């Protein structure tokens, strides 16, 4: 819109167009169109439900509370995106992979960028609480060839269904988190504890809102992984315990048949526990696409 052009008069009938026309001189990218489309949907909802000023202030108050609940340890905005299926849908659109490759799922709100590197064979359970779990990991390409030097970050909930950054006063710093690197054969192993499924956190504004509506807030037991290797697409995924009864109602829409694994009974360093034998298959990054 040029300085001399006459702008649309803002009204109930023209609200979306009046907003969108202000992007007309912006850069040619998807972002202005995405923002304009989102605003159009918001305006349409307002026109459909016709909230009072007080009701709209409650919406703003909720969004403000979500922001206040987000910090370096907890991302309430990510939780909101996850619960409405937005995160899963973005992953589905952007990470379609050929048959046989490991699919992406959401990263979730409890990821940390400062996960410490650990030695192959070591334990990520710093407090030792829970049923022992031995995890063997193999990283291959689509041809079945091993990928050496891959960086693998893993994290999980404990045996009571809590992540370390949910319980900073009860769990050791970086408990049940580790960064590993595959050897020349694409392999590494580590020790942990069997994770528990859990309810999506309801101590914040997002969880409280969804709990009040009766929305199912259970997550099946799982292990998180982010796998990076030069020249390959990064895998962000979760592996689910096949014995968990809540696989079909995952609140965050992350379960895929390829990601369900059976944790078998096993002797783990002289203790009764379980073992998980996992294989991840990476695809080569397309030209011009970051690995």
Distance of CA 121 to the CA centre of its chain: 26
Q: Which long-range contacts link 241-250 to residues 24+ away (Cβ below 8 Å)?
A: 241/194, 241/195, 241/197, 244/197, 244/220, 245/220, 246/197, 246/218, 246/219, 246/220, 247/220, 249/216, 249/218, 250/218, 250/219, 250/220
Residue 228, Cβ neighbours under 10 Å: how many? 16
Residue 2 has pLDDT above 60, yes or no: no
Contact yes or no for 136/183 (Cβ under 8 A): no
Contact yes or no for 115/180 (Cβ under 8 A): no
Average pLDDT over residues 17-35: 77
Strand partners, 280: 139
Residue 291 has pLDDT above 60, yes or no: no
- pLDDT tens digits for range 76-130: 888 889 888 998 898 888 888 999 999 999 887 789 999 999 999 999 999 999 9
Range from 47-56, 111-120, 200-209, 215-224 carrying the lowest mean pLDDT: 200-209
Rounded to an integer, what distance in angstroms lies between the CA atom of residue 48 and that of residue 100? 45
| Percent of all residues in the chain with a pLDDT value above 90, rounded to a whole number | 66
Q: Which CATH number applies to 76-282: 1.20.1090.10, 1.10.3720.10, 3.40.50.720, 2.60.130.10?
A: 2.60.130.10
Contact yes or no for 252/218 (Cβ under 8 A): no
Backbone angles phi, psi at 206, to 5 degrees: -70, -50
């Amino acid at each position: 819109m040029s300085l001399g052009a006459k702008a649309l008069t803002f009204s109930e009938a023209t609200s979306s167009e009046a907003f969108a026309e202000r992007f007309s001189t912006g850069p040619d990218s998807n972002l202005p169109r995405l923002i304009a489309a989102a605003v159009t949907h918001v305006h349409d909802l307002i026109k459909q439900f016709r909230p009072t000023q007080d009701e709209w202030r409650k919406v703003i108050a909720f969004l403000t509370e979500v922001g206040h609940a987000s910090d370096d340890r907890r991302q309430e905005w990510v939780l909101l995106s996850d619960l409405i299926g937005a995160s899963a849908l973005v992953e589905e659109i952007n990470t379609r992979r050929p048959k046989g490759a490991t699919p992406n799922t959401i990263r979730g709100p409890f990821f940390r960028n400062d996960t410490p590197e650990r030695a192959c064979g070591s334990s990520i359970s710093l407090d030792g609480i829970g049923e022992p779990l031995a995890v063997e990991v193999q990283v291959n390409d689509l041809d079945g060839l091993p990928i050496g030097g891959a960086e693998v970050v893993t994290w999980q909930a404990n045996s009571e269904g809590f992540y370390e950054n949910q319980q900073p006063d009860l769990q050791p710093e970086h408990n049940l988190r580790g960064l590993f690197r595959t050897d020349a054969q694409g392999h590494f192993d580590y020790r942990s504890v069997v994770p528990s499924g859990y309810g999506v956190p309801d101590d914040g504004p997002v969880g409280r809102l969804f709990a009040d509506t009766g929305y199912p807030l259970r997550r099946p037991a799982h292990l998180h992984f982010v796998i990076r290797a030069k020249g390959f697409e990064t895998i962000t995924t979760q592996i689910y315990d096949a014995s968990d009864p809540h696989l079909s109602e995952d609140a965050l829409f992350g379960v895929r048949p390829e990601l369900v694994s059976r944790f078998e009974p096993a002797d783990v360093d002289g203790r009764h526990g379980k073992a998980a034998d996992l294989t991840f298959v990476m695809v080569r990054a397309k030209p011009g696409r970051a690995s």
